[in-house]
Every structure is written in structure tokens, then in C-alpha cells.
Structure 1
Amino acid sequence: MADGQSGGRPREGTPEYEWLYGSGGNRGPQPTEPRRRASGHEDEATRLMATGGDDAGLYPAPPPQQPPQGRRRAAPPPRTPQGPPVPPPGPPPGRAPGRPAAGAPRRRRRFPVLRVLLLLLVLWLVFLVAVPIWAWNNVERIDAMPTGDRPGDQPGTTYLVVGSDSRAGLSEEERRTLGTGDVGGDRTDTIIMIHTGGGQPVVVSFPRDTVVDLPDGGSSKINAVFAEGGGGDAGAQYLVQTIEQNTGIRIDHYAEIGMGGVAQVVDAIGGIEICPEDAIKDDGAHLDIPAGCQEVDGTTALNYSRARCSKNGPPECPLVRSDLDRVQNQREVVSAVGSTAADPLNVLLPWRYVALNKAATSFIAVDEQTNVVEAARMGLALRAIGGGARNCTVPLADSSAESWDETRSTALFEAIASDETDSITDDLCTATGLEP
């Protein structure tokens, strides 16, 4: 090149190359010094550097300086997609930091509460079982089943329940209150036979003045058979044998309830309701009650079942009551006792439960074959008198209640012995024993 210098550099004074080599003689090209980066929040890697010369904005900013080793900045907190960084969770309101949550101790205490409830339930079940077993030890045992000629085994179960006029176990004050008098010997003024089996339960009452044949010959009123047999075990055997001989029905279990037992049981369950059709006044039984339904205590309930006076009687007993009405009153009392005793309160209230079991076993005697289970079944049978059972009086020839209607009584007893109680017709089972 003619106008070039050695080494390829243009000669001085050539203006068209000054943009590349600059002016100033022989000095070499001097790069533009980058300005210091301004403080701000722009991205340093992409921000263009502003300069004061003509070159402003032509060069990108240099990469940011790396922080010294050993002084690394902490990682920024995570950002949510649409908001600022999420702060770490703090303690719930009302609780200081580091304090355990209020729910944790309660969850731990729940198990002791459940254990306590379970323990109370177990103790309650033990109580329900232990009280009858304890009370059962007070029950007197009687060798009531006779030996010798008896009806064979029959389907179903037949109970003979006897209400004794025995004064044994009663104090002088209790005898005066109950109006027992000084009658000697033991009489069974209440005799009820209960049969349960495959059919409907049947209850048969025997009026106290009914005349029956005795096993060793002769005859007697049925309420005197127990005493004629000698009372106690012998009297019970004699009565069972007499009933079996006259009915053809085998007696499986025997229960004898003393006079004081009825009154104490009624008081233990808080009284019963009776509904006499007429007002009754009986000085001998210490009874004076109006007609209609009413709540009575144990003494009144017992005297009601024993009263023999009603309206339209002679002057010495202005209200003479027939034996048939008395039988119905006895069934009414037994039914009310069974229904009221089944009230859940008599189980849920401990004092009632204890009093009921104690009273029910203090004046009762059962045969030696009756255990706790059989006694419970007998109680259910007594409860059936109030509902679900056929309530009958042994078929009678007339209102004197001294003799049976042979045809109807035989048919009734055969149906019971064969456990075909559903076949018993209304003419065989009546409340008074008289033919409808």
C-alpha cells in the first residue's frame, strides 16, 4: 500500500482510522474503561452499562463478581407461585413457643378414662351376679319331692307355689301389724300351679276350701293338707303327693313363701298397684280400703290377698267375701309383684336390688332340686301371671268351691300333663272356675 506505514498501521493524519486506533500519536488503542455498576435490583448479568461517552449502552455489563469463598449467602426462602416467600410456621395462638400442644395430654388421658369405665362395668356385672348368689344362701331348702308312686316324667316344667300362713320369723309387732292372730299350725291358703313348656304358660289356682282325696285315704280341705302331713318337709311332700294324685300332673319344683315375705318384697320394690272392684273392710285382716286402683305398701298388699270380707255380709263381718274372689286377689298381688319387680330401676338402683333379693330369699323355701337358674325360671313363670299366661281356677262344680267339675277338670289336667296347653278352651279355663 502506497500510503501505508510499515507494519500495516496508517500514517498519522488519516482521519478515517481514528475510530479504531484513536488519536494521540503513537499510543496504542485504549479500551474504554467500564463504569462501576450502579446499585439496584436489576439483573446484573443482563443489564447494559451506561457510560458518559459516545459508547454508552454498547457493551453489556461484566459478569458480577463472585463473593469470597467461605462467605456464601444463605439460600433465599422459597417463593410461592403468586406471593412472597412463605415464613416458617409459628406456634398456634394462645400457646408459647416450645410448649406441648394441649391435645396431646388429653389423648394420653383418654385411655385411663376408658379403663376406669371398663372397670366400673365389670364391677357392676359382678355386683349383679354376686348379690343373688349371696341372697340365695338365705333360702331354706325343703325335701319336698315324695317317694313312691308318682306320675312319670312329662314334657314341660310344672311348679307348685304355696303361700304359707306360717308365723315363723315374724316378731310380735309384725304379727300385730299383719293381723296374723294366734292360729296354731301351718296352713297353705294360697296354692298355685304354674306350667311352662312348648305352648302358652298356664296358671291354675286351687281355692282353699276345695275338698281333695288324701293319699292314705279320706279327704280334707286342700289348705289343711300341709298341716295334716306334719308341716315342714313331711307336710310339703304330703301336699305335693296329694296334688299329683288328684290331677295326674307331676310336680317338678316346689316353692313355699312365708307370710312376711310378701310384705317385704312389695316394700322392697316400692309398692304395687291393686284395683279392688268394691270397698273392703276386714277388721280381722286389718284392712280398710276404698274401691278402685291404688298404690299400696307390703302390709296392705298382704292383707288384701288374705281378706275374706266384702259388701252385703252379716253384721259380724259386714263385707263377707267369697273364696273365689280371694283367689283372684291373690293372683292380682302375685302378678303385680312380678311385673313391678321387673322394673329396670330395681336393678339399676343398688339399694333396691339388694333389698329385693334379701326380701325374696328371707321368707322362701324351695325343694332341694331347685338351683339359682331354676329359681330364676320360676320367677319368670310368676311374672307370666300378669300377662302372657292363661289364668285359671280349677274347674268347679258350683260356687261353694268345695268340689271339682270332674269332666272339665280332667280335660284341663290332661292338656297340661301332655304339654298341649294351646288346646285348652275357654270353658276349661275361667277366672272363677265356674262354667261360663
Structure 2
Amino acid sequence: MRTGSGQGGQEQEPPSFMPSRPRRLETAPSAPATSARHSRRQQEPPSFSPSSWTNTPRTVRRTSGSSRTTPRPAAQAAPSGNSWGNGGGRGNRGMRSSTALAHKHPVRKFVGTLLLVILLALVLLAGGGWFWINARLNREQMLTDAPGSGATTWLLLGSDQRDGSPGAGQDTSITGFRTDTILVLTKPRHGAASLISVPRDSLAKDDGRYMKINAVAYTSGYRSLTSQIEGITGHKVDHVALIRFGGLSKVVDAMGGVNLCYDADVNDPRSGMVWSKGCHQADGGMALAFTRMRYSDPRGDFGRAERQRQAISAITSKALQPAVLLNPVTAGKVLSAGLDSLVVDEQANAIDLVRMILAFRSASGPKGVTGSLYWTNPNYFPNRRVGSTVLLDQARNTELFDQLVQGSHDPGTVGGN
């Protein structure tokens, strides 16, 4: 049932949009309405009011204490068997040196370091090294001056850019481009990494107007979209990476396809997705349709967001396989295709991309946190111009990201109503 629209299309006050407690970030207040008529039709809801949350410092409680490993006494025998799962060491059976015991590290740290070395080697093999990568990066002003939070957060965007590929911009009534994929990737100093989807139809307010969040970048620029995400999460976005949908198919084709799964038969002319129930090896065109399809999905945009996370995870995993990493020709094609389709923020460099890939892999694994934002109404109508939107649950999302940044949230799936 439609809810939220007033008589004559007047914009009603969302019952829950901005947080009910002081915010951590300082965010500029929205611009005033440009006319008296506009002002009568679009009143400032108390829950949106900047005075209730801007310029107010917010203290995030952090769990006290430290993680400390106590070495086993030298006289105590080490357990038999492989010792990798117990936090590092050489993996010899029967015994380990006291030096190794005193400096043992979690196996995930070793694996992360190993992957970093491999990826750096890939950079060198693919096209002349570090400086070549940095020179190829397409950069745009996307960051705000919000204060840091201690964790590292990436805003991952997918844009159709009306690129002429199947499924792009078929609605001729829509001008410009839309960022239909919005993901927030968070890597805390300690704890689980997370990958959270932002529904493309989430209600946003930009320059005094209500709109869907996927239109903010086209209307006001990527920096404004970054600010919107910071307002939702309550924490700074450190880096932004934008992938043009048209370039996704080239990346998948360069690596020889990826394995994707969907538990339904689909024949969707809008996205070009023709699918039989189950798992299939998808080429670039099918992977692109897989990430775009939503009209034939009973879960709509929520189902599409889940498939987008699956596709990006499959691409990341395939890129880290030896068949790609250790093949200079394949690695070079994948890297070149990826860089051609990528736009990053003004401060990003090659090492930031490596860290982003590692964080994404960690978040997509069994020890990561995935899902979507929390919402209170998936079919909220602020006015006729905007149409149906997703009204977010700001209080729950603030609490969620406080935990994700601190690394205190348990692995698993989050989000919904």
C-alpha cells in the first residue's frame, strides 16, 4: 500500500529519516526553498532538521581492553599436528621455537600479507608497475572534509552512465545517469570487515529537495553523494570507487567468465537477462545483465543488490586465482579493462585499490558482515514527483555502523525492516 503522499502531491514529513541522537559528522544544512510556493509544499520535517544533529560532536563508545597473546611456557610441549590454525608459526609437527611462540600472529594476517604481495607482483607484471597504475587512474573530486573515524571506509558505486550497453538507460524519460549500485565497504582496525548495500531508491534530501539517492550524484555531484552516505552511516568515507557498468563485461570477459547462481528462471527483456534456474558460467554480457535485472525479481531492488554483491565477490575471487594472477597476459588484460572502467577519488592510489580488494574479499567471506541498510517503509511516497522510495531507519543504521567501525559486530547478514 502506498504511504506518505499528501493531497496535491505535497511532501509529507518522513516519520524516521534523520537520527534521533546527536550525529558524529558535521554536515552543512540544506539550502532553503527558492520560493514561497515551494516552501508551502515542502516543509522541513523535525526529523530532517539540521539543527537537531549538525555541529554537535558525537562520542562513539569503544570497547576498552587490548588483545594480548600469552606465550606457552617453554617446558610445555606444543600440540602435534599442523599449527597454522593456532595463530601462525612454522607449521612443524611436535614443537616450535620459543621465538616463534613469542611472536605468533593470526593466520589471517599472514594470508592478507601473502595476498598483498601477490597483488603487488601482479601490478608489476601487468604494465610497468606502480607509477603506470597511478598514471592510468581516472580521478574525480568525490571526498568531503569530514573527520576520520578510525576504520577505513570505501564507497563503491556502479553507474550506468547511459553507456549504450543492454539494459542501460532504456527509460528515455530519465535524463543523465544513475548510481544504481551503492555499497559501503568498511575495514575496522580489528574485527570483521563489512559490505552493506544502500537501496537505490532510498529517500534522500539534497539542496532542499527530496529525491532518490541514486539521483544525487547526477543532480549535485559525487561529493554530495558521499556526504549523503556519511550522513546515513555517521562516519567518514575515506575513498570512493566508481565502476561504469559497461566496463564490467570487459573485466569478466578478460578473466574468462565467472560462476554465478540464481534460483529462478528469468527472461527479462529490460536487462537482457535470460537465465535457467541454477549456477552457470557467465560471460561479460550475462554478468552485466545479472547485476542489472530487477523487474523480474520478486524482491525488486533488494534482490538485485544481493546479486550485485554476489557478482562483485565472484569477480574478486576469480581475479585472485593463480590462473589469472600468475598469467601475465590474462592479468594484464584484466587490469587494463578494470582501470578503463574505474573512476576513483582524488586521493586514491594503487595501494588503496589493493587494500580495497583485500577488504572486499574479507567482507564477502564467512567471517564478514554483509547485507543492506535497515528501513522502516519500502514504499514511501514523499510526493508524486519522486514516487515510491525506501524510507531508511536512521537510528538502527547509526547503531549498525558504530559497531562496524569499531569491529564489534558479529559476522553474518544484516539489514531489512
- TM-score tier by shorter-chain length is 0.5 to 0.7
> What is the 5 A alignment of 1:155-174?
155-167=150-162
**2: CA distance between counterparts of 1:161 and 1:352?**
25
Matched, 1:211 2:203: yes
SS in 1 for 2:136: coil
Q: Which amino acid aligns with 1:218?
A: R
Unaligned runs of 5+ residues in structure 2 are: 1-120, 380-388
**1: CA distance between counterparts of 2:336 and 2:411?**
40
User: How many aligned residue pairs are there?
Assistant: 284
**2: CA distance between counterparts of 1:202 and 1:283?**
33
Matched, 1:362 2:340: yes
Q: Is the 8 A contact 2:262 2:279 kept in 1?
A: yes
Among candidates 388, 396, 399, match of residue 411 of structure 1: 399
**2: CA distance between counterparts of 1:129 and 1:267?**
19
Matched, 1:324 2:306: no
Larger RCO (CA within 8 A; separation ≥ 6): 2
SS in 2 for 1:191: strand
Partner of 1:14: none
**1: CA distance between counterparts of 2:222 and 2:310?**
25
Partner of 2:284: 298
1:93-127 residue CA offsets vs partner (Å, 9 max, x unmatched)? xxxxxxxxxxxxxxxxxxxxxxxxxxxxxx99953
C-alpha RMSD of the superposition: 2.4
Among candidates 250, 269, 275, match of residue 289 of structure 1: 275
Matched, 1:130 2:128: yes
**1: CA distance between counterparts of 2:129 and 2:377?**
47
Instruction: Report the CA distance shift for 1:179/1:224 in structure 2 as closer, same or farther (over 3 A).
Output: closer
State the identity as a percent: 30
TM-score, reference length from structure 2: 0.63
SS in 2 for 1:163: strand
Partner of 1:31: none
**2: CA distance between counterparts of 1:325 and 1:339?**
21
**1: CA distance between counterparts of 2:142 and 2:210?**
21
**2: CA distance between counterparts of 1:204 and 1:347?**
28
> Which of 335-344 and 396-405 deviates more?
396-405
SS in 2 for 1:422: coil
**2: CA distance between counterparts of 1:246 and 1:239?**
11
Unaligned runs of 5+ residues in structure 1 are: 1-122, 230-234, 311-318
TM-score, reference length from structure 1: 0.61
**2: CA distance between counterparts of 1:204 and 1:290?**
28
Q: Is the 8 A contact 1:192 1:205 kept in 2?
A: yes
Larger strand proportion, structure 1 or 2? 2
**Larger Rg, first or second structure (1 or 2):** 1
Q: Which amino acid aligns with 1:134?
A: W
1:186-241 residue CA offsets vs partner (Å, 9 max, x unmatched)? 21000000110221101111011111233x33322111111111xxxxx1111111
SS in 1 for 2:180: strand
> What is the 5 A alignment of 1:64-213?
127=125, 130=128, 133-147=131-145, 150=146, 152-167=147-162, 175-177=164-166, 180-181=169-170, 184-197=175-188, 198-213=190-205
Q: Is the 8 A contact 2:249 2:283 kept in 1?
A: yes
Among candidates 214, 218, 223, match of residue 227 of structure 1: 218
Partner of 2:108: none
SS in 2 for 1:331: helix
**2: CA distance between counterparts of 1:290 and 1:365?**
34
**1: CA distance between counterparts of 2:158 and 2:151?**
23
**2: CA distance between counterparts of 1:145 and 1:125?**
26
Q: Which amino acid aligns with 1:239?
A: L
